[in-house]
Amino acid sequence: MSEWWTYTLSDFLLFSPRTYYRLFELHNAELWPAHFVAVAGGIAVLVLAKRGGPAAGRAAAAMLALAWASVAWAFLWQRYATINWAASWLAPAFVVQALLFGLFAMRPRGLALASGPASLVRPGLAVAACGILAYPLVSVALGRGIAAAEVFGMVPDPTVFATLGILVLAAPAARVALLPIPLAWCALTGATLWTMGSPEWWLLPAAAVLAIAAAIRQRRGA
């Protein structure tokens, strides 16, 4: 791309904020009441993360694999790709993440949750809980209404947000394998929302910073 320095983020934004948030309204309307299943699954992941241990680590990994696969197919591929051709490349990345979680689900210790310093457990659980329980309320707080709520396991941002929280609790090996794609998504969605002028643009990048800080702290503590 010649004269690449003349391009700004807005040159790559193909859609209006109105169209973007309408995606969530349409998605929610079409999949209702699957939201209860998705949130229940998220709460189960939280409980498993709190409990820790090999079985919980395997089960949590399996549930996160399902969440990422579901987002890849139902949202990115079927819906987001209708307004953003780049989503047809993002969906496979989510599938890769789902497969990685699937691999960890088959390992004896799973994600080896709560294997790090105890001081990381609460922040990790808090971030995951925010992604699962509080993230849908962002839409309400910003005046877009509950109809456009973003729900864990159904759309990317809350799913990635919660995933980062869970990975704060995971063993270093799991983090090395499972952090890159969520971190890349945080950068992408942060840039997209910032370009659209959405006030919540910083949420995912902040969660990414927390996950990175936790990884550094655990490594230094190791």
Which residues make Cβ contacts (< 8 Å) with residue 118, sequence separation at least 6? none
Q: Which of 6, 108, 220, 222 binds other proteins (CB under 8 A)?
A: 6
We find the least distance from the C-beta atom of residue 166 to other proteins, in angstroms, to be 31
Residue closest to 213 by CA, chosen among 164, 156, 159: 164
Q: Which residue has the tokens 């005046």?
A: 143
Tokens encoding 167:
């990975």
Q: Looking at residues 73 to 112 of the shown chain, list those that interact with other proteins (rule: CB under 8 A).
A: 79, 82-85
- Count of CB atoms within 10 A of residue 211's CB? 25
Give whichever of 3 and 222 is closer to other proteins, judged by the CB atom: 3
Give whichever of 14 and 142 is closer to other proteins, judged by the CB atom: 14
Q: Looking at residues 11 to 50 of the shown chain, list those that interact with other proteins (rule: CB under 8 A).
A: 11, 13-16, 18-19, 22-23, 26
* Relative orientation angle of helices 34-51 and 17-31, to the nearest 10 degrees: 90
Give whichever of 88 and 119 is closer to other proteins, judged by the CB atom: 88
Question: What is the amino acid identity at position 41?
Answer: G
Q: Which residue has the tokens 């659209």?
A: 196
We find the least distance from the C-beta atom of residue 15 to other proteins, in angstroms, to be 5
Residue 191 found at the interface with other proteins (CB under 8 A): no
**Residue ranges that bind other proteins, judged by CB under 8 A:** 2-3, 6, 10-11, 13-16, 18-19, 22-23, 26, 79, 82-85
